[in-house]
Amino acid sequence: MAVTLRKSLKIIEDYKMANPHYADLLDILADILILREEYRKNMKESIFQVEEKLIAQKMEGGLPLVDIAGSKHDLTRPKKYFESLIAIAQKRMPEAGQDILSIIHSDDFDWEKMIKSSFDRAQEDLKNDAPAETEVLSSSEERDNFDLIDLFAEESLRPELEYIAEKYGAAVEKAGWSEGYCPICGKEPKIGEIRAEEDGRRYLFCNQCGFKWHFRRITCPFCGNDEQQSLAYFAVEGEERHRVDVCNKCRRYIKIVELPKSSEEPNLDVEDIATLHLDMIAYDEGYN
């Protein structure tokens, strides 16, 4: 069962008290969740269409249900949503919001191109493999602004894809999807969970569409490596509920929330932001 909006907002308030340095980002997330709920209430159906007779064939072939990068879609509605999301930054972080406006109004900014390229795993792999010295140097503030743009860009398609995930999720689970990327939209996961009640089964979570799927615990979701000697994990002392699974072959990582028996379902959107320090540690250790 999905975590309700009211419960998610309560979780955010609890995390703000425990981690005040994330308060601004968590406030932004709270506003996003409220706006997302409003968007979903006004939706009759998704702009994305799924050919139901091809679901089994796509699952067997390792193809996600929705092809964002390779197919043409009317993205007018998500783009308007994106603009509404920018208004959140203007309200919560006026200076950063103004900087973001300058970026998205520049001639170099192409929203639709950015959206489609984010679904191209080959391009993401090239970016992840790029040596550090080739990265564009920028101030911490500029990087934060770009991170917010990425967050808003991802969110701009979330309600539409969430609709597809809810409608076809049962069919996908029945098909036994075994890939490390999302069966609904094709995005790679950033976070997942291990469920003690299910004998430690690991589930990956797609921030793009909100879908969770079972994935082998001792396998890297990014390169398929299943050699135990090259797989590891780390956690921060006192925060053992959260850990980071790493692969020393492809140098990728994924954050994991460990759920004890009889625990409530977490909101992994919230958990992802509340564990950004784990991303920083992973980056410092050479993982991406």
Closest CA to 94 of 139, 145, 33, 140: 145
CB 156 within 8 A of CB 85: yes
pLDDT score, position 265: 85
Rounded to two decimals, the pTM is 0.90
User: In a structure prediction context, what are the per-residue pLDDT tens digits for the chain, which is 288 residues long?
Assistant: 457 899 999 999 999 998 899 999 999 999 999 999 999 999 999 999 999 999 999 999 999 999 999 889 999 999 999 999 999 999 999 998 899 999 999 999 999 999 999 988 654 554 455 443 333 334 444 445 568 999 999 999 999 999 999 999 999 999 989 999 999 999 999 999 999 999 999 999 999 999 999 999 999 999 999 999 999 999 999 998 999 999 999 999 999 999 998 778 889 999 999 999 999 999 999 999
Say how far apart CA 180 and CA 188 lie, in whole Å.
Answer: 7
CA 162 to chain centre: 12
pLDDT score, position 121: 65
List, as one string, the DSSP characters of 202-249.
EEEE-TTT--EEEE-TTS-TTT----GGGEEEE--TT-TTEEEEEETT
Backbone angles phi, psi at 213, to 5 degrees: -140, 150
CATH code for the domain defined by 5-284: 3.90.1670.10
List, as one string, the DSSP characters of 46-71.
-SS---GGGHHHHHHTT--S--TTTS
